[in-house]
Structure 1
Amino acid sequence: MNNASGEGSSAAGCFGLVITAVVFFLLTSLCIPSMRNDVFGGLFGCKAHRTSSKPEPLKFEDSAAVAYVQEKVLKELKAPSTAEFVGVAKVTRPTGSGIEKAARTLNIDPDHLWMVTGEVDAQNSFGAMLRNSYAGLVEFYPDKGYRVINVIIE
Structure 2
Amino acid sequence: MFAAVEAVEAGDAAVLTELGVDLRQLQGLTGRELFAELARLILGSPSHPDDLAVSQAVLATLASGEPGASLSDRIAQFVAALAWQRAAVQLASNRSWRDRAKTTIRAFEAKAKGWIRARVTQIADVLANRSAQEVANYASDLAARACHEFSEEL
Greater percentage in strand? 1
With the length of structure 1 as denominator, give the TM-score of the two structures. 0.17
Bigger RCO of structures 1 and 2 (CA < 8 A, at least 6 apart): 2
Greater percentage in helix? 2
With the length of structure 2 as denominator, give the TM-score of the two structures. 0.17
